Amino acid sequence: MKKTIFILIAAALAVLLTACAPSAPAQPEVDLTQMSSTMKYSEVYNMLTTPENYIGKQVKMAGTFAVYEGENRSYYACVIADASACCSQGIEFVLGGDAAYPEDYPAVGEYITVTGVFDSYTEGALKYCQLIEAEII
């Protein structure tokens, strides 16, 4: 009986200590950095044409940093060229926290790696994709 109680207490402590351990950073569910240039371009195309399949997924991508000035705000993006480098597609990202441009961003044209949670939003009549809670790593 004492042995059974000891095992139950040990198991409960193991569960409690595991729950208190700091969690590891989220691993990307879509890691574009591990794909060939053709696959990267194709996956980004899929993300932009069927965003509902990616909403809420952790994404990691690498490409060129770009800034687009809109009428009411600026848009920050990671742009990926296709295999022949003739065409480009990018995904907007929004850094987590109180990031300010240009202090907290790389130089335009710099090669970056960014992670974030895939999301979409509507602006006017158009739907756009973005990575929210993003981090440049």
Q: How would residue 22 be classed by pLDDT, with cut points 50, 70 and 90?
A: very low
Q: How would residue 26 be classed by pLDDT, with cut points 50, 70 and 90?
A: low
Strand-pairing partners, residue 136, are 114
Above 70 in pLDDT, residue 70? yes
Q: Name the residue with higher pLDDT: 5 or 53.
A: 53
0.85 surpassed by pTM: no
* Mean pLDDT score of the chain: 84
> What pLDDT score does 82 carry?
73
Distance CA 103, CA 72 (A): 20
Q: 61: which 2 tokens?
A: 């991508």
Strand 58-69 versus strand 111-123 pairing type = antiparallel
Distance CA 101, CA 27 (A): 27
pLDDT tens readout for residues 105-128 = 999 999 999 999 999 999 999 999
Above 70 in pLDDT, residue 40? yes
Domains of the chain, CATH where assigned = 27-136 (2.40.50)
The mean per-residue pLDDT over the stretch 17-45 comes to 75
Q: Name the residue with higher pLDDT: 14 or 100.
A: 100
Above 70 in pLDDT, residue 23? no
25-34, 51-60, 68-77: the lowest-pLDDT one: 25-34
